[in-house]
Amino acid sequence: MWKFAAVEAGGLILYLVASALGDAKYFLYTKFFLASALPYMTARIVFLFGAQFAMIVYVFLSWYWEEYKIRPTSIVHLRGVFKKRQTVFPISKLSAVETKENIIGKIFHYGSVEIKNGSEILKLKHISRPERIKQAIEEGPLTLSFSTPPDIGKMLNAEENEQLEFKSSLRHDYKAGNVNRELEKAALKTVAAFLNSKGGYLVLGVSDRREPIGLKNDIKTLQKKDRDGFENHFTQAFNSAIGPGYRNLIKLWFHEVGGHEICVIEARPSARPVYFKTDSTEYFYMRTGNITTALKLSELESYLRSRWPKRFS
């Protein structure tokens, strides 16, 4: 809208400039052979309205063709009518996203989006409905950069804590010697709790004594008996219990330790609440110390406000 206002102002300036030309206008009129086609006054009107219309079309196309592409480690700003221009904003170290709107922006739903990438602050100006862009940035894949494998040696020497838990398997029950779906649910509950808290690592294939025992018993129970089959099964179980919209917050790392293959499931903190679904019921889990805790309904509102203050303020 402000661009169209600028066009109107430009049209007025063009008219004033044309008025100041005096006899020069008639000279241009005869020089370009318009005298034989249009009367002088008609040519003036056609020129002024034509120039203003061309500016309006240009402004519209510059708005219509402008776009932002959200990528895993960057935001790409594309713009331009006659010549496409591209600006790349790196966000590999994304830590915060804020929106700003002035009084007019609040009325017409536009503003700016400020992105903190490490020590650098990027600013996207004149964004329509900036809250939507902020939400897309926080919930989309661009907040993810699983570039550094976890230090498995350091993990095995650590105690379970708010961001670390160990399990002997995903679904194989070593005591009963068969598949136990409750073990799978317990693992996914832990992952949901990490998503709702500060993120964390779930290490599978490690005994209570922190000794690697591997995934072979889990893999034997799968239709596709290899690493890909394991990850595919996890993804299916995750999508069913938590939802495919959160799968981009999860990365599975496989490590060979002492001749055994173990899996580290890395979970990033979610920008919105994650609910664990089972038997047509939803539960909310969080981490308290080294324990996965289910919150009661009376406790949930307080935690949501403290964990996501801007979303639930």
The answer to which of 27-31, 68-72, 302-306 has the lowest mean pLDDT is: 27-31
Q: What is the pLDDT of residues 51-79, one digit of tens each?
A: 878 888 888 888 888 888 877 667 888 88
pLDDT in tens, 81-95: 888 888 887 776 666
pLDDT band at 148 (very low <50, low <70, confident <90, very high): confident
Average pLDDT of the chain is 85
Q: Which of 15-29, 36-50, 72-86, 149-163 has the lowest mean pLDDT?
A: 15-29
Confidence band for 36, pLDDT divided at 50, 70 and 90 = low
Confidence of residue 96 (pLDDT cuts 50, 70, 90): confident
pLDDT score at 142: 41
In Å, how far from its chain's centre is CA 195?
Answer: 15
Which tokens sit at 140? 């989309």
- For β-strands 200-204 and 164-167, DSSP reports them as parallel
Instruction: Give yes or no for residue 167 having a pLDDT over 70.
Output: yes
Could you tell me which residues come within 8 angstroms of residue 29 by beta carbon, excluding any fewer than 6 positions away?
35, 40, 43
| Cα(147)–Cα(150) distance, integer angstroms | 10
d(CA 155, CA 5): 60
On the question of pLDDT at 180 being above 80, the answer is yes
**Structural tokens at position 35:** 């005298």
Q: Is the pLDDT of residue 257 over 50?
A: yes
DSSP secondary structure string, 218-248? HHHTSSS-SHHHHHHHHHHHHHHHT-GGGGG
Q: DSSP string covering 111-159, please?
A: EEEEEEETTEEEEEEEEESHHHHHHHHHHSGGG----S---HHHHHTSP
Angle 74-76-113 from CA coordinates, rounded to 5°: 80
d(CA 193, CA 13): 62
- Using the structure block, give the residue that is written with the tokens 């804020």: 98
Structural domains in the chain, sorted by start:
2-64 (no CATH), 67-142 (2.30.29), 146-312 (3.30.950.30)
By CB neighbour count within 10 A (0-12 exposed, 13-18 middle, 19+ buried), where does 230 fall?
buried
Q: Which of 199, 220, 214 is nearest to 167 (CA)?
A: 214
Q: Write the pLDDT tens digit of every residue in 190-249.
A: 999 999 999 999 999 999 888 999 999 999 999 999 999 999 999 999 999 999 888 989
pTM of full prediction above 0.85: no
pLDDT of residue 227: 93
Q: What are phi and psi of 283, to 5 degrees?
A: -130, 150
Is the pLDDT score of 145 beyond 60? no
